[in-house]
Amino acid sequence: MAPLRAWTELDPVVPQMVATMRRYLQQIGCVLRPGSVTGADLALRSFAGFLVETAPGIVSTTQVTRRHIEDYKPWLAKRPGQNKTQVTTATLAHRLGTLRMFFVRIDEWGWDQAPPRVPMFPGDLPRQDHPLPKALDDAAATKLLRAAHSHKRLLVRVTVEVLLRTGLRVGEFTALPADAVVQIGAAPWLHVPVGKLREDRYLPLHPQLVELIDDYRHKHVDPGHPLLLPRENGRGAERHSVTRILNNVAASAGLGHIHPHQLRHTLATQAINRGMSLEAIAAMLGHRSLDMTLRYAKIANRTVADEYFAVTDQVDALYAQARALPADAIGPKMAKLRREHHRLLGNGHCTRPQELDCAFESICENCSFFQTSIEFRPTLQAQHDDAATKDQHQRAALFQQLLDGIKEGEAS
């Protein structure tokens, strides 16, 4: 948002109000994280600046009435936001919600500076949109990971791999201590220290990821460095440097802008679409409540599709009676028709009818964990030919790409 008045500028004008608000910030600073206190500081300075500008007779919070709140809301909504012509709904909700909590708390605490009644209500906060998490689909995630593998800078690969395979928040990633990789029993785990929700957790680590981390540390990190994955120059990574790394590799993969949190959404979506329980996903992501994890259930397309297709025939029966097939369609011709709709898989066929085409065809081959080698070339060639014969161009292109990868491996 546009710059707000500083406390030093407000203090000479409304000293009583400034003293109350600063005392409040000191109190919440004992129980909230610095970022939350900074947000409260901005909200209170915004309201104090509004009163100085529009109601110069108000010098203390005891004088604030409902009318001041009603005037403040449109004033705040018209203020220009950061790089925007108007402040966002999310910022409005945060500023107003923080201000309301200020009045609620000083009233509950019995402060003499509290107004006779709390001048704000829950209905003063605008309703916010709740869009679904923006995850990369399997094809885009695969492109991103392959581009990271071929990047000349090892930090790019380790950044993309760790975020995509662990679902860490970017702040958790940049703060990982040097001893974060631990051995529990026979398996390696990643210890994520206390973070956003004040709880630490352990994540299972793929052995290949452990090797990648060890390789990067051996080549670029001083043994005594306190962080697990600092930049090559020894400085700790931060949110903006991680975002630049992701967008650099995303551009080389032919993808658009990618935010680090999208990789967290991507792992959660991949996990729920492949049958991982909500409880396990919540533990993996460090969610305190399953309500946070349930957002991903709304985009579990494979689950929804499978259950939908399971009842499609029954639903169709509600709308129309089955049409009688002509006599010559039964027998060899029907068998031939079904064979043409079958999709050849590595160990069998998919018999889903063509009109109910599956969005997850060849999902294993699109997965970032999928690996193949020369002994599977006949099977991949057969799948490619099967897809090409049936004009399944996307599948044919995928298998051709896998075959090309095997040929390149032979050449090297």
Tokens 């409260």 sit at which residue?
A: 40
pLDDT at 95 over 80: yes
181 CA to centre of own chain:
23
CATH architecture of 7-124: Orthogonal Bundle (1.10)
C-alpha distance from residue 328 to each of 163, 238, 325 (Å) = 57, 69, 8
Q: For position 53, what pLDDT does the model report?
A: 92
Residue 252, pLDDT score? 92
User: How far apart (Å, rounded) are the C-alpha atoms in residues 292 and 356?
Assistant: 32
Q: What is the pLDDT of residue 81?
A: 61
* 47 contacts 99 by C-beta, under 8 angstroms: yes
Query: What integer is the mean pLDDT of 235-242?
Result: 92
CATH fold of the domain at 138-299? hpI Integrase; Chain A (1.10.443)
Residue 23 · residue 75 · CB < 8 Å: no
Most confident of 263-267, 301-305, 324-328: 263-267
Q: What average pLDDT does this structure show over 350-363?
A: 54
Helix (H) or strand (E) holding 182: strand 181-184
pLDDT at 359: 47
* CA–CA–CA angle 270, 385, 378 (5° rounding): 80
Look at residues 250, 242, 227, 268 and name the one whose alpha carbon lies nearest to residue 170.
242
Asked if the model's pLDDT at residue 310 lies above 80, the reply is: no
**pLDDT at 78 > cutoff 80:** yes
| C-alpha 230 chain-centroid distance | 22
Predicted pLDDT at 201: 86
- Check pLDDT > 90 for residue 241: yes
Cβ atoms 148, 160 nearer than 8 A: yes
Identify which of 237, 236, 258, 239 has the alpha carbon closest to the alpha carbon of residue 247.
258
Helix (H, G, I), strand (E, B) or coil at 345: strand
Rounded-to-integer distance, Cα 141 and Cα 253, Å: 10
In the block, residue with structure tokens 């460095």: 225
Residue 197: predicted pLDDT: 47
Residue 327 exposure: Cα atoms within 13 Å on the Cβ side: 0
Higher pLDDT, 198 or 156: 156
pLDDT band of 277, cuts 50, 70, 90: confident
State the pLDDT confidence band at 198, using cuts at 50, 70 and 90.
Answer: low
Q: How many residues does the chain have?
A: 412
Comparing 176-180, 287-291, 318-322, 399-403, the range with the smallest average pLDDT is 318-322
Residue spans per domain, the chain: 7-124, 138-299, 325-411
Residue type, 70: E
Residue 104 has pLDDT above 90, yes or no: yes
DSSP H helices in 29-132: 34-54, 66-78, 89-108
Give dist(CA 150, CA 198) in Å, integer. Answer: 37
335-348 tens-digit pLDDT: 554 555 556 555 45
Res. 238: pLDDT tops 70:
yes
CA distance 73 to 75: 5
Q: How far apart are CA 166 and CA 51, in angstroms?
A: 47
Mean pLDDT of 23-40: 92
Q: Cβ distance 111 to 20 under 8 Å?
A: yes
Six-digit token pair at 309?
A: 């297709």
Rounded to two decimals, the pTM is 0.56
Closest CA to 200 of 230, 226, 169, 225: 169
Pairing state of beta strands 343-345 and 201-204? unpaired
Q: Identify the DSSP state of 122.
A: G
SS3 237: coil
Exposure string (b/e) for 168-205, b if CB count within 10 Å is 16 or more? bbbebbbbbebebbeeeeeebbbbbeebeeeeebebeb
pLDDT value at residue 211: 93
Residue 281, number of CB atoms within 10 A of its CB: 22
**What is the pLDDT of the chain when averaged over all its residues?**
82
Q: What is the pLDDT of residue 179?
A: 94
What is the gyration radius of the CA atoms in the chain, in angstroms?
Answer: 29
Each residue of 200-216: pLDDT tens digit?
888 889 888 999 999 99
CA distances from 33 to 28, 37, 240, 411 (A): 9, 7, 21, 56
User: Looking at the DSSP assignment, which residues form a beta bridge with residue 177?
Assistant: 227
pLDDT value at position 376?
Answer: 78
pLDDT tens sequence across 162-193: 999 998 999 999 999 999 999 988 889 999 88
For residue 376 the two structure tokens come to 């599977």
pLDDT (tens digit per residue) in 115-161: 999 999 999 998 876 666 678 888 899 999 999 999 999 999 999 99
d(CA 264, CA 169): 7
